[in-house]
Structure 1
């Protein structure tokens, strides 16, 4: 049997609005049933099988399956079915499977997955090298900030994608109206704010903004740091 040819899935996570739209897409009952059917199968399925299993017209199943692909909840692969291969074996079938990326959203936007990755990286580094966890967390956060920002975008664009909601203030600096790590910071401010500061410093450096412009801002209801003009 021939190997499947998969479409290339984006390596970039959906934006906040994209994640909200994807989850809202499951509000349609037919679409949700198809999503549950596809994700419950051991391998990719075709639209004919999905339509037959759920008792809906093929055209309806096709429409909703393609919408789920567009919204980032399903992915597509093309594969010839059966044992026959070579000339005359027919065109590859379009099959649907769950997308590799999970989709979640919170309101306001949060990035607890990023915090978890930074903390896990720091713990692994500390265990491997014997250094302190706090220093390892600062290093991991700074490095990730640089890595997420090294694509020619401005610092405001980078921070906006992550969920900081940057806004210009009257002095020409930038205030960060949202804390992507709010619930963690609420109970562990010392650790989380240090992690956040290192992350922002790395992002600033990668965007050509002097790191010393990232300063503390303890205004209630927003991020614990701001960017000086």
Structure 2
């Protein structure tokens, strides 16, 4: 999930995309397409790697399915003869990056929100911490609106939520773990704002209970049942 609330490929999808490059032929095809700097057709890719056209097509399409390449259709330059009017399939390196971490992390989201907060502070003159709280809450609200329930919103962001017997939701993973080790106050403030916004957008049936390191969870807060928009208490 990015700062606009758009769904990113799931953790398993990203692992599958990276795993697809473990195959030597697919990796070679990907590198050939990437290094060409232009769309590459099936025939060209097959000839470059000494593969049959069918084998090259199958591997290229697998890379498209896994999000590593993108596909487009166009007529081949200089084509002629029977069937020349039909467009051919061409492949390019995907624009979006593919990254996976175990446990799941969301450093790209943190970077986007921190940059947005700095831009807002520069434009408005308000303190950076005020901008960070506003940007984080707005992103959390978009996140909440993109999902049907708070559990789904938390899972999509990498929090690994676990429901406890008392109705609380424990966050089994911190998506910003490495950042929080060196910048705990900033990251936990951002995390609080993000969670507060998500709770509010999902119905506001939880509050945030702050936690200190060593209290049995990697996150700085957990969600506890209660009325209101989800404020830290």
TM > 0.5: yes
Question: Is residue 2:25 matched to residue 1:24?
Answer: no
Partner residue in 2 for 1:215: 209
What's the secondary structure of 1:106's corresponding residue? coil
Question: Per-residue deviation at 1:170?
Answer: 2.4
CA distance in 1, matches of 2:106, 2:11: 10
Aligned residues: 217
Question: Per-residue deviation at 1:221?
Answer: 4.5
**CA spacing shift, 1:126–1:164, aligned 2, 3 Å:** same
Partner residue in 2 for 1:132: 127
Partner residue in 2 for 1:51: 46
Q: Following superposition, which runs of at least 4 residues in structure 1 exceed 2 angstroms of deviation? A: 81-85, 217-221
TM-score when normalising by structure 2: 0.88
Residue range with higher mean Cα deviation, 40-49 or 213-222: 213-222
CA distance in 1, matches of 2:37, 2:192: 44
Q: Runs of 5+ in structure 2 lacking a partner?
A: 1-5, 226-233
Question: Per-residue deviation at 1:83?
Answer: 6.2
Question: Is residue 2:161 matched to residue 1:198?
Answer: no
CA distance in 2, matches of 1:182, 1:112: 9
Partner residue in 2 for 1:228: 224
CA distance in 2, matches of 1:121, 1:83: 48
Question: Per-residue deviation at 1:104?
Answer: 0.4
How far does the alpha carbon of each residue in 1:120-145 deviate from its partner, in whole angstroms, 9 at most, with x for none?
00011111111111111111110011
What's the secondary structure of 1:171's corresponding residue? coil
Query: Counterparts of 1:108-187 in structure 2 under 5 Å?
Result: 108-187=103-182
Question: Per-residue deviation at 1:151?
Answer: 3.0
8 Å Cα contact 2:170-2:217 kept in structure 1: no
Question: Is residue 2:85 matched to residue 1:90?
Answer: yes
Query: Counterparts of 1:63-102 in structure 2 under 5 Å?
Result: 63-82=58-77, 90-102=85-97
Q: Runs of 5+ in structure 1 lacking a partner?
A: 1-10
